[in-house]
Chain A
Amino acid sequence: MSFWEYVGSRWEQLLVDSYLHTSAVVQTTLVATVIGVLVGVAVYRSPIGSTVATALTSAILTIPSFALLGLLIPVLGLGVRPTVTALVLYALLPIVRNTIVGLSTVDPSVRDAARGIGMSRLGVLTRVELRLAWPAVLAGMRVSTQMLMGIAAIAAYAKGPGLGNLIFSGLQRVGGANAINAAVAGTLGVVLLALLLDAAYVLLGRLTMPRGIR
Chain B
Amino acid sequence: MSQNEVHSGTGVGRREGRPDDRDVASGGSAVSGVEIRLEEVSKRYPGQALPAVESVTMTIPAGNTVALVGPSGCGKTTTMKMINRLIEPSSGRITIGGEDAHSLHPDQLRRRIGYAIQQVGLFPHMTVGENVGVVPGLIGWRSGRVADRVDEMLDLVGLDPAEYRDRFPRQLSGGQQQRVGVARALAADPPVLLMDEPFGAVDPITRGNLQDELLRLQAELGKTIVFVTHDFDEAVKLGDRIAVLGPRSTILQYDTPEAILANPADDTVAGFVGAGAKLKQLALLRVRDVELGEVPTARVDEAPEDFRRRLTDGRSQFGLVLDARRRPVRLVSAVELRGVTSLRNAGRPVVDTVSPASTLHDALEAILTDDEGVAVVAKSRGEYAGVVGIDTVMATIRALRAEHEGSADEETPS
Interface residues of A (CB under 8 A from B): 107, 109-120, 123, 127-128, 131-132, 210-213
B120 on the interface (CB 8 Å rule)? yes
Near A by CB (< 8 A), chain B positions 161-217 give 168-170, 181, 184-185, 194
A132 to B169, alpha carbons, bound, how many Å? Answer: 14
Smallest CB–CB gap between A122 and chain B, Å? Answer: 10
Q: Decide if B125 touches A210 in the complex (CB within 8 Å).
A: yes
Interface residues of B (CB under 8 A from A): 84, 86, 107-115, 117-127, 134-135, 138, 168-170, 181, 184-185, 194
A171 to B48, alpha carbons, bound, how many Å? Answer: 68
Q: Decide if A120 touches B107 in the complex (CB within 8 Å).
A: yes
Q: Decide if B170 touches A113 in the complex (CB within 8 Å).
A: no
Nearest A residue to B121, CB-CB: A113
Give chain B residues whose Cβ lies under 8 Å from the Cβ of A113. Answer: 115, 117, 119-123, 181
Q: Decide if B125 touches A116 in the complex (CB within 8 Å).
A: no
Give chain A residues whose Cβ lies under 8 Å from the Cβ of B113. Answer: 118
A131 to B126, alpha carbons, bound, how many Å? Answer: 10
Q: Decide if B115 touches A211 in the complex (CB within 8 Å).
A: no
Q: Decide if A117 touches B184 in the complex (CB within 8 Å).
A: yes
**Contacts A112-B86, A212-B126 given; does A119 touch B107 at CB 8 Å:** yes
Give chain B residues whose Cβ lies under 8 Å from the Cβ of A115. Answer: 86, 110
Q: Decide if B124 touches A110 in the complex (CB within 8 Å).
A: yes
Q: Decide if B124 touches A213 in the complex (CB within 8 Å).
A: yes
A132 to B114, alpha carbons, bound, how many Å? Answer: 24
Q: Decide if B107 touches A118 in the complex (CB within 8 Å).
A: yes
Q: Decide if A212 touches B127 in the complex (CB within 8 Å).
A: yes
Give chain A residues whose Cβ lies under 8 Å from the Cβ of B181. Answer: 113
Q: Decide if B135 touches A109 in the complex (CB within 8 Å).
A: no
Give chain B residues whose Cβ lies under 8 Å from the Cβ of A111. Answer: 121
**Contacts A212-B124, A212-B126, A212-B168 given; does A117 touch B119 at CB 8 Å:** no
Give chain B residues whose Cβ lies under 8 Å from the Cβ of A120. Answer: 107
A112 to B114, alpha carbons, bound, how many Å? Answer: 13
Q: Decide if B125 touches A109 in the complex (CB within 8 Å).
A: no
**Contacts A109-B120, A117-B185 given; does A213 touch B125 at CB 8 Å:** yes
Smallest CB–CB gap between B132 and chain A, Å? Answer: 11
Closest 5 CB pairs of A and B: A113-B121, A109-B119, A118-B111, A210-B125, A116-B115
Other-chain residue from A112, A116, A128 in contact with B123 (beta carbon distance below 8 A): A128
Chain B CB within 10 Å, residue with most, of A109, A114, A116, A118: A118
Give chain B residues whose Cβ lies under 8 Å from the Cβ of A132. Answer: 124-125
- 12 examples of A-B residue contacts, CB within 8 angstroms: A107-B124, A110-B124, A113-B119, A113-B120, A117-B110, A118-B112, A118-B135, A119-B138, A123-B138, A212-B124, A212-B170, A213-B124
A99 to B112, alpha carbons, bound, how many Å? Answer: 33
Other-chain residue from B109, B122, B168 in contact with A211 (beta carbon distance below 8 A): B168
Give chain A residues whose Cβ lies under 8 Å from the Cβ of B185. Answer: 117
Give chain A residues whose Cβ lies under 8 Å from the Cβ of B86. Answer: 112, 115-116
A132 to B115, alpha carbons, bound, how many Å? Answer: 21
**Contacts A116-B84, A117-B111 given; does A110 touch B122 at CB 8 Å:** yes
Give chain A residues whose Cβ lies under 8 Å from the Cβ of B184. Answer: 117
A110 to B170, alpha carbons, bound, how many Å? Answer: 13
Smallest CB–CB gap between A133 and chain B, Å? Answer: 11
Q: Decide if B134 touches A117 in the complex (CB within 8 Å).
A: yes
Q: Decide if A117 touches B117 in the complex (CB within 8 Å).
A: no
A127 to B131, alpha carbons, bound, how many Å? Answer: 11
**Contacts A112-B86, A211-B168 given; does A117 touch B122 at CB 8 Å:** no
Smallest CB–CB gap between B399 and chain A, Å? Answer: 43
Smallest CB–CB gap between B82 and chain A, Å? Answer: 12
A113 to B126, alpha carbons, bound, how many Å? Answer: 14
A110 to B122, alpha carbons, bound, how many Å? Answer: 6
**Contacts A110-B124, A210-B125, A212-B127 given; does A118 touch B117 at CB 8 Å:** no
**Contacts A119-B107, A120-B107 given; does A114 touch B121 at CB 8 Å:** yes
Q: Decide if A117 touches B124 in the complex (CB within 8 Å).
A: no
Smallest CB–CB gap between B81 and chain A, Å? Answer: 8
Give chain A residues whose Cβ lies under 8 Å from the Cβ of B117. Answer: 109, 112-113, 116
A115 to B125, alpha carbons, bound, how many Å? Answer: 17
Give chain A residues whose Cβ lies under 8 Å from the Cβ of B110. Answer: 115-118
Nearest A residue to B138, CB-CB: A118
A115 to B115, alpha carbons, bound, how many Å? Answer: 10
A112 to B117, alpha carbons, bound, how many Å? Answer: 9
Q: Decide if A110 touches B123 in the complex (CB within 8 Å).
A: yes
Q: Decide if B119 touches A107 in the complex (CB within 8 Å).
A: yes
A112 to B196, alpha carbons, bound, how many Å? Answer: 12
A116 to B123, alpha carbons, bound, how many Å? Answer: 13
Q: Decide if A131 touches B125 in the complex (CB within 8 Å).
A: yes
Give chain B residues whose Cβ lies under 8 Å from the Cβ of A109. Answer: 117-121
Nearest A residue to B110, CB-CB: A118
Give chain B residues whose Cβ lies under 8 Å from the Cβ of A210. Answer: 124-126
A127 to B127, alpha carbons, bound, how many Å? Answer: 13
Give chain A residues whose Cβ lies under 8 Å from the Cβ of B168. Answer: 211-212
Chain B CB within 10 Å, residue with most, of A109, A116, A117, A128: A117
A29 to B279, alpha carbons, bound, how many Å? Answer: 69
Chain B CB within 10 Å, residue with most, of A113, A114, A119: A113
**Contacts A118-B138, A212-B168 given; does A107 touch B107 at CB 8 Å:** no
Give chain B residues whose Cβ lies under 8 Å from the Cβ of A107. Answer: 119, 121, 124
Q: 16 new A-B pairs (CB below 8 Å) besides A116-B194, A118-B135?
A: A109-B117, A112-B86, A112-B117, A112-B121, A115-B86, A116-B115, A117-B110, A118-B110, A118-B111, A119-B107, A119-B138, A131-B125, A132-B124, A212-B124, A212-B127, A213-B125
